[in-house]
């Protein structure tokens, strides 16, 4: 039995980096590349960088809500990079929920920590965050 991962299992990012879908976007974070690239892998390096910066900001916001910082108690992206969706085509917006807390509580925890150039909206069963 081979212990190697098939090369086809990796995402080929525009920067030339190959990442495994379960690799964390940021070390010691909770967000994996599969969260951002579930629908499509970015073909533009700018979108790749937007995903990385959005992941960093989501990790920061996660620290306000998920004090235990455990993988199973965190913000969970539902939709992130979708090239043909107007709100999700650049990697700067994400729809998410929380794995443990109710949406209205998560929204009220996060709202004071949103910068003026960011948007946070409570939408039916998800929260929408836009970085810029």
Chain segment 54-93, per-residue pLDDT in tens: 999 999 999 888 766 555 678 999 999 999 999 999 999 9
At 15 the pLDDT is 96
Res. 117: pLDDT tops 70: yes
Residue whose C-alpha is closest to residue 19's, from 1, 38, 33, 8: 33
Q: Is the pLDDT of residue 11 over 70?
A: yes
Average pLDDT value for residue range 11-38: 93
* Residue-level pLDDT at 103: 94
Domain spans, the chain = 7-130
The residue length of the chain stands at: 132
Q: Is residue 120 scored above 60 in pLDDT?
A: yes
């Amino acid at each position: 039995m081979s212990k190697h991962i098939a090369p086809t299992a990796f995402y080929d990012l525009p920067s030339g980096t190959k990442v495994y879908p379960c690799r964390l976007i940021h070390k010691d974070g909770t967000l994996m590349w599969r969260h951002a690239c579930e629908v499509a892998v970015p073909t533009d390096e700018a979108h790749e960088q937007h995903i990385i910066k959005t992941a960093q900001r989501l990790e920061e916001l996660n620290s306000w809500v998920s004090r235990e910082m455990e993988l199973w108690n965190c913000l969970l992206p539902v939709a992130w990079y979708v090239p043909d969706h107007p709100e999700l085509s650049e990697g700067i917006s994400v729809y998410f929920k929380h794995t443990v807390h109710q949406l209205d509580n998560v929204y009220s925890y996060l709202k004071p920590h949103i910068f003026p150039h960011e948007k946070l909206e409570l939408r039916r069963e998800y929260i929408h965050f836009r970085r810029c």
